[in-house]
Each structure stands twice: as C-alpha cells, then as structure tokens.
Chains A and B, each alone.
Chain A
C-alpha cells in the first residue's frame, strides 16, 4: 500500500471513530425513512390519480436530490476541520516526520474524507431505493449510477472546503463553501428554468447568460444529469461534456491551489 492510500484508509478509520459521524448518519436515515409514508397516500395531479410506479419514481427523484444536495452540508462538516485538528492533536507531525511527501498527506486526507462522504451518500440512496422496492416491488434502475456521478460533486465539495480551510478559519471556510455551492444551485436552477420555451416567451430578450454563470462550478447541473439516470429523460440543459469538464477542472484547480498553499506552510 502506498502512502497516499494508507493515509486515505487511516482517514476513513479516524472519521468513523467520531460519534458525530454516527449521529449524523442516524439523523439522516431517520429523515430518509420518513419517505415510507409518501407511498401510502393517494395523489391526484390535474385530475389524474398517480399510479404507484410513477409515485415511486417521483418520490425517489425528489429524495435523490434532497440527499445529494444535503450531502454538501455533510461533506463541509466532515472536511472543515481536518487540517487544523491534525495540527492540534499531532497527527500532521506523525505523518510528516516519516517519509511521507506533503502532497501525499494532503491528498490522502482529502481522498479519505471523500470516500467516507461517498459511502454515507450511498447508504442513504440505497435506503431510498430499498424503500421504493419494498413499496412498489420495483428497484429504480440507474439509482446507483446516479449516486456514483453525484460522488464527483462530493469530491468537489471536500476539495473546496479543505482548500478554503488552508486560507481561512474553519467556520469561515465552511460558510464560504456552502455559499459557493448554494449560488451554483440557484444560478444553474434559474438557468435551467430559462431554457423552458414558456418562460423564454414571457421574458423574451432577457435570456442572455452572464459569463460568470457559465464558468461557475456546475454542481447542480451534474446532479441534475445524475438524476436523468433515474428518470431516463434526456439531459438538455447544457452540453454534458462541458458540465463534466467544468466540475473536474474546478476540482483540479482547487487541488492545485491546496497543494501550493500547503507546500509553503509551516508545520
């Protein structure tokens, strides 16, 4: 096992020792389990009663989005204090007094946090899929592919918080991370609405998108694309290649910034 994967493994173990991890998981599972009651009602839309399969699909998609978006809060909480805690409790010296490169330590810690966050999200999404299966007898295909795609968003979230925590106090880093992600969601959500024909006709002449909105991290778009694996609809909000490139380039830029900052910091 090389140093990077060893540190990532140690990070997962260390985070799983914290009671707060299990408390957060239990609270999240409790809310996800509340979803069960959604399957037992009768829903009428435009005079048509929804059949159980459609109901399961819609409930699953909504739950998918809520969990995927809520996971940004979870990743921020997990990632915000990694490096300051390591400085205080001697973990950073423990690693770096050994033949471990600084980049191995930094990326190992980030990778471990990401893996745990992805596992956390997978458990919640699996629970939703199983609730759907128990109530309708059908497993929503594409749910796990959608989870895997969303895990890239979590990598971005962990990288963002960790990088900011190298420049700012932990709480400020967490708040800024959540603001950036929230702005991305609002901006891209609005952008997607603007793509609808009806809205275009209503506000004709005002559909030009500012460059910063095009360049801003496309976490919402990637999440929306992930949900198309559940709904089996086409993703047409913007070119898919650009969405992937945007999130991956932002993640790589943040990683480069974190490495630059950490390589110059005093241990």
Chain B
C-alpha cells in the first residue's frame, strides 16, 4: 500500500530524514515511533506531498506520492488539527465531503453519520472557534474518515483527547482496521500503538533504528517502552 524507498530530506545542512525505507502492506496498521525531532512528521508530510524529498521515492498503491490521484485514497489527521475558526463542524465536514466526490443528500447523510461516529452529534452547528482541542481533533478524524479512504495517515490522533475520547478514537480505528483499511500511525503513546498496530518502526535522528512486526521486535521479557528506550538511548550512546 505504501512504500518508502531510500527517502532522504534535508533542510540545508540539517538531515531530517536519512535514507529511510519501509513498506506498509494493505490492511496493516503500522506505527512510526520516535522522540521529538526524529523525522516522523517529515515522513508523513512527504507522503502527503506537503514537502518534497531530497532523494528517494515514495509510493501509494504504486503511484508516486504527492500526486492528487494518490491523495484520493487517503484520509489525513494532523497532530495539531486546525479548522478555520469561522466554520462550523458541519460546514467543515461538508467541504471535505465535496472534495471526496460527495454532494447533496449523499454528502449530508455521510456527514451526519460521521458526526455520530466521532461523537460530535449536536455540536456541529457551533463555530470551530468555540471547540475544545479534543472536539477539533474529533472533527478532524471525521474528516479523515469521510469518503471511506483505503489509507489513514494519523499524526498523533489522540493528542488533546481525554481518556474517554482516546477510547472512542481507538474503537473507530479498530473498526476501520477490521474493514480492511490501512493505517500509518505516528504516536508517542506506546500503549495505543501496542493495542492497534501489528508493525512498528522506531526512528531516531532521521534514521530507522529498528522495524518489523511488533511480535518480533518486542521480546517476551520486555515491553515496547523498554525497546523504544533501548534503541533511542542506544542511538545517543553511539553518537557519544
């Protein structure tokens, strides 16, 4: 479904992503883990075409990422999702629905259904400027799920949500995964990753330190947190 082939991204002398390669098969939930500044968000931005790679190639279902055609297949939720403050949740989702090819009654039905699914029913007429961070994140997730995309790209999807909100999002994502959807998840919450994802890649300083199925990476005697710390701290020790 997604393939990163030796992808590098430099900002002047700073190498944010350094020769990263991995693939996410269709129907899999894949997590990108790493400390702040590891290059996870840069990878996601390149996948969406928001940023160009300095070297290497990225594909979504065989098509080069960044083309509008490849974005037709994906839904995206940013870490700090923003909704224009003058729009209501309803208006925002209706706009998103229009770009998914939905119109008229079909769009209104899809948006109503989505508002129910993300727990925002009854709040849709309020302007986004009156939404809490968690409400914005829920509307953002609803927008990402509109049009039933084959791939969900989520950058810290539960950021700003309370425990109940986190549970609701997890339920939605598990349901999406059961229906055969592919997920690329960027998260700091290792417990959420362990529950949802089958494979992970741990990044540090623009490089992948380890990747593979969760069952292979995490041995019986340790936790994902310990593996994460070992690889990230190990990277620091090697640098020293």
Contacts and interface: CB of A to CB of B under 8 A. Distances in A.
A154 to B, nearest CB: 24
B85 interface: yes
Contacts of B173: none
B81 interface: yes
Given A97-B48, A98-B71, A89 B84 contact: yes
A3 B143 CA distance: 18
Interface string B136-149: 00000001000000
A93 interface: yes
Contacts of A197: none
A89 B82 contact: yes
A94 B143 CA distance: 9
Interface stretch (B24-32, B95-103, B199-207, B210-218): B95-103
A267 B68 contact: no
A91 B69 CA distance: 20
A14 B50 CA distance: 23
Interface string A86-111: 00111101111111110010000000
Contacts of A89: 82-85
B84 A90 contact: yes
A10 interface: yes
A99 B72 contact: yes
B51 interface: yes
A100 B76 CA distance: 14
Contacts of B92: 94
Contact of A267 (B50, B86, B100): B50
A98 B78 contact: no
Nearest to A87: B82
A17 interface: yes
A236 interface: no
Task: Give the interface size class of chain B.
Answer: 20 to 34
B56 interface: no
Interface residues of A, number: 22
B95 A97 contact: no
B45 interface: yes
Contacts of B78: 90, 93
Interface in A48-89: 88-89
B160 interface: no
A93 B44 CA distance: 13
Interface in B26-65: 45, 48-52
A264 B92 CA distance: 27
Contact of B84 (A94, A100, A101): A94
Q: Pick the most buried of B52, B84, B98, B143: most chain A CB atoms within 10 A of its CB.
A: B84
A98 B99 contact: yes
Contact of B83 (A14, A90, A267): A90
Contact of A99 (B45, B52, B68, B84): B68
Contact of B71 (A6, A17, A97, A104): A97
15 contacts: A14-B84, A89-B82, A89-B83, A89-B84, A90-B82, A90-B83, A90-B84, A93-B78, A93-B82, A94-B92, A99-B69, A104-B68, A264-B52, A266-B45, A267-B49
Given A17-B86, A98-B100, 20 more contacts: A6-B98, A89-B82, A89-B85, A93-B50, A94-B84, A94-B96, A94-B143, A95-B99, A96-B48, A96-B50, A97-B48, A98-B71, A98-B96, A99-B68, A99-B69, A264-B52, A266-B45, A266-B51, A267-B45, A267-B51
